C-alpha cells in the first residue's frame, strides 16, 4: 500500500526544550524592551507565570484571533505566548489584542526562532535517511529556510555533501496550522476530547490545503496519509478528522487527554521515539 508520510518538525524531530533555551531568553529580552520592565523582573515574572500555565494546562493555550488553537504547555514556543501576554498585562503594555498578536505571534517569533540550537531527537538522522525512497515530507509552522538549514546541518557528510538533500527540498514551512476558517466545511467545526473542557477546533483550511496538494501530487487519498506530530491540536486534529492515520510523538509535557484519546482511536497512535516512525507509517 502506497502511503504519504508528513512529519512536523519542531518538537517532533527535535528536542524542543533543549533547542528552545536561546529562543526563550531572546524572546523575554525583547518583551523587556517592549514592556519597559527591567529584564530581571521579566525573567522572574516569566518563571512565575510559567508555573501557572503548567498547573492549569486546560485553561492556557495559544490564543489566535480570540480562540485557543493549541495547548500552551507542550513546548517553549507555545508556552511563551500566554507568558508574554501576562507580562504585558502586568506592565499595562500593548492592550490591543490585534497589536499583541502581531508582536508576539509574528515579529518576536520570527526574530527569535533563528536563535534556537540545533538539537535533534536521538536517532533522527538515521530515521530520516532511512525514509529516502518514500513519499515523506516536512510540513511545519516554522519558516522554510531555517528548517532546511537545520536539515542540511543534520545530514552533513564528511565529504561536504548532505544525506538529507532529498528532504530539504520537501520542506513546506509557514503552514499556518493555527489559522481557522469558519467558512471551511470539509470537517466539522470541532471535536471533543475527554478530559479537555474546551473543544478542539478543526477548520484549519490553510493546513488542509498544504496536505491536500501533496496528496493530489501523488494521486493519493486522505486515507493514504500518515501524519506525525508532537501537538495533537496543531498537527493531528485536522488530519484525523479527514481520515488520515496520525501518530503523536509524546514528550514530558504531552497532555494526558491527548495521549488517552489517541490510544483509543482506531486511526491514532502514541510514539515515544523517532525510531518508531517508519513502522508506524509504512508497516501494514
Q: What DSSP string runs through 178-220?
A: T---TT--SS-SEE--TT-SSPEE---HHHHHHHHHHHHHHT-
Residue 180 and residue 233 in one domain: yes
Residue 70 and residue 143 in one domain: no
**What is the SS3 assignment for 143?**
coil
Residue 127 and residue 25 in one domain: no
Residue 245 and residue 170 in one domain: yes
pLDDT one-digit tens code per residue, 193-234 = 999 999 999 999 999 999 999 999 999 999 999 999 999 999
Residue carrying the nine cell digits 482506531: 266
**Of 153, 146, 148, whose CA–CA distance to 113 is shortest?**
146
At residue 198, the pLDDT reads 92
Residue 220 and residue 154 in one domain: yes
The CA distance from 2 to 139, in Å, is 19
**What is the SS3 assignment for 12?**
coil
Mean pLDDT of the 26-48 span: 95
Residue 160 and residue 259 in one domain: yes
Residue carrying the nine cell digits 467545526: 189
Residue 267 and residue 203 in one domain: yes
**Domains contained in the chain, number:** 2
Helical (H) or strand (E) element with 88: helix 76-91
**198 touches 58 (CB < 8 A):** yes
Helical (H) or strand (E) element with 65: none
Residue 11 and residue 26 in one domain: no
Looking at residue 121, the DSSP 8-state letter turns out to be: P
Residue 79 and residue 141 in one domain: no
Cell of residue 165, nine digits: 538533500
Dihedral of alpha carbons 102, 104, 106, 108, sign: positive
Structural domain boundaries, residue 41: 21-115
**193 touches 258 (CB < 8 A):** yes
Residue 187 and residue 242 in one domain: yes
Mean pLDDT of the 55-78 span: 86
Would you say how long the chain is, in residues?
A: 284
CATH code for the domain in which residue 249 is found = 3.40.50.1000
Q: Tell me which of 97, 115, 133 is where a domain ends.
A: 115
C-beta neighbour count of 227 within 10 angstroms? 24
Residue 12 and residue 27 in one domain: no
Q: Which residues contact 20 (CB under 8 A, 6 or more apart)?
A: 75, 76, 77, 116
Q: Tell me which of 115, 138, 168 is where a domain ends.
A: 115
User: Does 284 have pLDDT greater than 90?
Assistant: no
pLDDT one-digit tens code per residue, 245-271 = 999 999 988 999 999 999 999 999 999
The CA distance from 209 to 5, in Å, is 16
R_g over Cα of the chain? 19
Which residues in 90-198 belong to E strands, given as ranges? 135-139, 171-172, 190-191
Mean pLDDT of the 81-106 span: 89
- Cross-strand pairs, 139: 172
Residue carrying the nine cell digits 489559522: 179
Q: Tell me which of 84, 115, 146 is where a domain ends.
A: 115
pLDDT one-digit tens code per residue, 67-80 = 999 998 888 888 89
Cell of residue 127, nine digits: 530515521
Residue 65 and residue 138 in one domain: no
Dihedral of alpha carbons 82, 67, 196, 188, sign: negative
Amino acid at each position: 500500500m502506497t502511503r504519504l508520510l508528513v512529519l512536523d518538525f519542531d518538537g517532533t524531530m527535535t528536542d524542543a526544550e533543549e533547542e528552545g533555551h536561546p529562543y526563550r531568553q531572546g524572546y523575554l529580552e525583547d518583551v523587556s524592551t517592549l514592556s519597559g520592565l527591567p529584564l530581571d523582573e521579566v525573567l522572574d515574572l516569566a518563571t512565575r507565570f510559567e508555573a501557572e500555565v503548567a498547573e492549569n494546562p486546560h485553561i492556557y493555550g495559544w490564543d489566535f484571533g480570540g480562540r485557543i488553537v493549541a495547548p500552551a504547555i507542550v513546548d517553549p514556543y507555545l508556552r511563551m505566548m500566554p507568558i508574554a501576554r501576562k507580562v504585558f498585562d502586568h506592565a499595562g503594555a500593548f492592550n490591543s489584542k490585534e497589536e499583541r498578536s502581531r508582536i508576539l505571534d509574528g515579529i518576536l517569533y520570527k526574530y527569535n526562532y533563528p536563535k534556537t540550537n540545533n538539537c535533534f531527537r536521538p536517532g533522527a538522522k538515521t530515521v530520516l535517511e532511512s525514509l529516502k525512497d518514500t513519499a515523506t515530507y516536512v510540513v511545519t509552522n516554522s519558516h522554510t529556510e531555517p528548517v532546511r538549514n537545520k536539515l542540511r546541518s543534520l545530514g552533513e557528510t564528511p565529504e561536504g555533501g548532505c544525506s538529507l538533500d532529498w528532504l530539504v527540498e520537501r520542506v513546506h514551512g509557514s503552514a499556518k496550522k493555527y489559522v481557522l476558517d469558519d467558512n471551511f466545511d470539509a470537517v466539522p467545526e470541532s471535536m471533543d476530547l475527554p478530559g479537555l473542557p474546551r473543544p478542539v477546533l478543526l477548520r484549519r483550511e490553510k493546513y488542509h490545503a498544504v496536505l491536500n496538494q501533496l496528496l493530489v501530487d501523488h494521486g493519493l487519498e486522505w486515507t493514504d496519509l500518515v501524519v506525525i506530530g508532537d501537538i495533537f491540536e496543531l498537527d493531528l486534529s485536522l488530519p484525523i478528522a479527514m481520515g488520515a492515520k496520525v501518530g503523536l510523538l509524546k514528550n514530558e509535557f504531552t497532555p494526558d487527554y491527548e495521549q488517552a484519546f489517541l490510544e483509543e482511536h482506531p486511526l491514532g497512535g502514541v510514539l515515544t521515539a523517532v525510531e518508531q516512525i517508519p513502522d508506524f507509517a509504512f508497516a501494514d
